Amino acid sequence: MRRALALALTLIGVVALAGPAAGERTAPEKWPTTVFSTVGKPGFPAYVHVAPNGRVYAATYTNPAGDTMASRVLEWTASGTLLRSWTVPGQDLGAPHGVQVATSDARGRLVLLEKSRAQVLTLNPRTGRFKVQATLPDLPGAGHPIPNYAAWGPGGKLYLTDYGQGVIWRIPAKGGEPTPWFRSEALEGAGFGTTGIVYERSRRSFLISQQTTGNPLDLLRGHLYRLPVVAGGAPGEIATVWTSGPLDLPDGFGVAQSGNVYVALLGTNRLVRLGPDGKVRATFPPGPVLGANGSAIPFDSPSNATFLGTRVLVANQSAILGTASHHAILAVEVGEPGARVFIPRRARLR
C-alpha cells in the first residue's frame, strides 16, 4: 500500500478508461455506507482490526509528503465511539513510518506491524505496554522489508506479508526470529507488492492479495492467490483465484461466512465482491476512481474490508491525494455476516 504515489497519479486516469475487469458484473450494486469515525492527525488510517471482544482498532501512517508525527493506535466501540489512543514509541520519524493493527493474540494483546524499522510489536490495551517481538531482516537482493498484513496459521504460528521483498514470513509459536516461509516471483510487485492475508481453516490454506506483479505482461493487474499449507507445515503450490483490472491495486480483504471475499481496490476507489470461485459478483460503486458511495465521505484509497457483523469497515486512507477530511473509517452494509477470524489458543508471541 501507500507507495509509488507519483506513478499512481500518472496512471490512475488510464484505469478509469480501462473498463471493468474480466468477468465483472456491470449491474449497479448499492451497499449503504456511513462514516463510522473520522481519524485526526496524523491521519492516513491503515487496516481496521475488529478484536474478539468487539472493540475496533486502527493505526495511522505517515503523510506521503513527509512528517515527523509518531503513529497512533486508536480504539473504538463497535458503534464508533473513540475510547482511547496510544502513541507508538521507537519509530524512525525521519523515515516513512506507519503501523498496522494486524490481529490480536490469544492473550488479548494487539499485534502491530511497524514500517520504519520493519518490526512486529505487541500492545497490551490493559496496560498500554508496547513490546518489540521481532524485526524482519533484509534478504539479499530483495530490497527493504515492509511488514504489511499478518494472520495466525496452524500451530499458533504468525504469518506476515512483506510489501517490499516478495516473501511470506513465519514467526514460531510463542515467538522467535522470523524466517522466510514462502518466496515467489508472484509476490514481487512492480512498485506495489503483497498486501492482505487470511487463513482459511477449512481449506488449510491462505488467501493472499497482491497489488501488482513484476511481470510486465500483467499490465499492473493485481491478484488474489490461494496458498495451501501441506504436510509438515510447508507451503504448497500457489494458485490464482482472481485477477483484477489494471491498477486496481487490491489491498486488504474480508471473508464472509458464505465464502464470498470482499476486496478493497485502493487504486480505483471501489470494493469488489468475489464468489468462493473467484468470480466477480459485484463492485461498488460501479464506476472507478470517483468513489461515490453515497456517504458524506467518498472512498479515497480504501485499504481494507473488515467484517463487523454484516458491515465491512474500510480504512479510507487518501494515500494518493492526502485529503485530511477523507481520513476516516467507513462502514459498508453488505448484507451478510463475516467469517470468524482464526486466532488459535496457541496464538501468542513472547
Cell matching residue 27 = 449491474
Whole-number Å distance between alpha carbons of 221 and 21: 9
> Measured between alpha carbons, how far is 41 from 324 in angstroms, rounded to an integer?
8
Q: At residue 131, does pLDDT exceed 60?
A: yes
Give kind and range of the element (H or E) at residue 100. strand 99-104
In percent, the amount of the chain with pLDDT more than 90 equals 83
342, three cell numbers: 482464526
Amino acid at 103: T
Tell me the pLDDT tens digit for each residue of 49-107. Answer: 999 999 999 999 987 777 889 999 999 999 999 999 999 999 999 998 999 999 999 99
| pLDDT of 140 | 87
Going from the C-alpha of 232 to that of each of 150, 156, 228, 235, the distances in angstroms are 21, 14, 12, 9
Beta-bridge partners for 61: 98
Structural domains in the chain? 5-333 (2.130.10.10)
